[in-house]
Homo-oligomer: A and B are copies of this chain.
Amino acid sequence: MNHKEANNKNNRRKFLQYLGVAAASCTVASCNNDEASNANTSKQQNSQQTFNWKMVTTWPKNFPGLGTGAEYLAQIIKEMSGGRLNIKVYGAGEIVPAFEIFDAVAAETAEMGHGSAYYWKGKNPALQFFSTVPFGMTANEMNAWLYHGGGMELWQRAYQPFGLVPMAAGNTMVQMGGWFNKEINSVEDLQGLKMRIPGLGGEVLRLAGGTPVNVPGGDLFVSLQKGVIDATEWVGPYNDLAFGLYKAAKYYYSPGWHEPGTTLECFVNEKAFNSLPQDLQAIVRNASRVANQNMMLEYVARNNDALVSLINEHNVDVREFPADVIEKLRELSAQVVADVVGSDPFAQEIYDSYQGFLAKSKAWHDLSERAYLNLR
């Protein structure tokens, strides 16, 4: 389904919703099987109804941080709803492959999905801004933009043509820069490199002369070990240790200039979401905010132990990208962003909002968080 087809589908849905609103004026007894009208009947009438949903994910079942983050979201929804909304979580490939969950939820194969927006750049390149931007916002800034800077409204507009309601449901904070089997001493060392790196960061690698590929997390280790790819980034020490990436690459570079605070998402089929009574809608929205924060805090709590293990037990060579490599990547990142926003007025609108917010939060953080981290 492309963007135009999605828009047509959405227009049909809007028309059906309009009918649903009209139908709600009949007696509840005569139309309580009408899914659209449920949103318009009172909370009390729905409050004991039980909903059983499926959540499809781009992660291996129960993968630390990401897969367990999806399970955590389902669990707190169940607890807060007193068992009225039960969500069964499926790993990548259990119902649909990792990169088909967006279409699957749009098509109502499942009610909910858990992934990250840059996986859907084939639908619309602008969606990548809702994951992360190279040299862009940190996790706290990204969340502040989404909840207090207009970002969430833009994201909702971006997913609306597909009949999906997006929510932020996790964040990695600043990632690591990736696993390599050679030193990166200049940008030339990236030429010819076939590397797993998604989103805008991947396009930066392409401009630097490399070949970005996207591989689901669960296939990463084998791809790297078999030489299908030369290098990869994933998340950070806690997650990268779990995949055993240190067995297939020697150098581990920091920091993740390409993913400084990546938002993980859950999205809900709009019709399914509208069928929930208002209290359950509020529970889903707030649970996603708890899950969003919780995943990031789990990384804060776990990454250093994993890093120590990688260095001391697995002899990983941790390096920092040289300053001139960073400068060149910064220039290429600006080009990549310019290409995306030049192609589409909505992409320009999203980026203007993103960049305007970032300029202010950066100025404040230079005086507060950054100044403090440098002096403590």
Chain A residues packing against B (C-beta within 8 Å): 43-44, 47-48, 76, 79-83, 135-136, 138-141, 143-145, 147-149, 173-176, 236-237, 254-257, 260, 277-279, 282-283, 286-287, 289-290, 292-294, 296-298, 300-305, 307, 318, 320, 323, 326, 357, 360-376
Which residues of B sit under 8 angstroms from A323, Cβ to Cβ? 375
Known: A282-B80, A289-B293, A300-B141. A371 touches B320 (CB 8 A): yes
Which residues of B sit under 8 angstroms from A135, Cβ to Cβ? 376
Nearest Cβ distance between residue A138 and chain B, in whole angstroms? 7
The 8 Å CB contact of A364, one of B143, B294, B303, is: B303
Which residues of B sit under 8 angstroms from A149, Cβ to Cβ? 301
Separation of A307 and B82 alpha carbons in the complex (Å): 44
Separation of A43 and B84 alpha carbons in the complex (Å): 11
* Contact yes or no, A307 B364, CB < 8 A: yes
Separation of A48 and B83 alpha carbons in the complex (Å): 14
Residue of B with least CB distance to A47: B82
Separation of A290 and B80 alpha carbons in the complex (Å): 13
Separation of A174 and B361 alpha carbons in the complex (Å): 13
* Contact yes or no, A79 B141, CB < 8 A: no
Known: A141-B300, A148-B301. A279 touches B372 (CB 8 A): no
* Contact yes or no, A304 B360, CB < 8 A: yes
* Contact yes or no, A79 B278, CB < 8 A: yes
The 8 Å CB contact of A279, one of B81, B293, B369, B376, is: B81
Which residues of B sit under 8 angstroms from A320, Cβ to Cβ? 371
12 A-B contacts (beta carbon < 8 Å)? A47-B47, A47-B48, A82-B277, A144-B297, A147-B294, A148-B298, A254-B371, A289-B290, A293-B293, A304-B364, A326-B375, A362-B376
Which residues of B sit under 8 angstroms from A277, Cβ to Cβ? 82
Which residues of B sit under 8 angstroms from A365, Cβ to Cβ? 300, 373
* Contact yes or no, A79 B282, CB < 8 A: yes
Which residues of B sit under 8 angstroms from A371, Cβ to Cβ? 174, 254-255, 320
* Contact yes or no, B82 A297, CB < 8 A: no
Which residues of B sit under 8 angstroms from A318, Cβ to Cβ? 367
Which residues of B sit under 8 angstroms from A79, Cβ to Cβ? 278-279, 282, 286
* Contact yes or no, B372 A138, CB < 8 A: yes
Which residues of B sit under 8 angstroms from A372, Cβ to Cβ? 138, 174, 255-257, 260
Separation of A79 and B283 alpha carbons in the complex (Å): 8
The 8 Å CB contact of A373, one of B256, B297, B370, B376, is: B370
* Contact yes or no, B370 A140, CB < 8 A: no
Which residues of B sit under 8 angstroms from A47, Cβ to Cβ? 47-48, 82
Separation of A175 and B367 alpha carbons in the complex (Å): 10
Known: A257-B372, A260-B376, A368-B173. A361 touches B282 (CB 8 A): no
Nearest Cβ distance between residue A129 and chain B, in whole angstroms? 16
Which residues of B sit under 8 angstroms from A76, Cβ to Cβ? 282, 286
Which residues of B sit under 8 angstroms from A236, Cβ to Cβ? 368
Separation of A216 and B278 alpha carbons in the complex (Å): 38
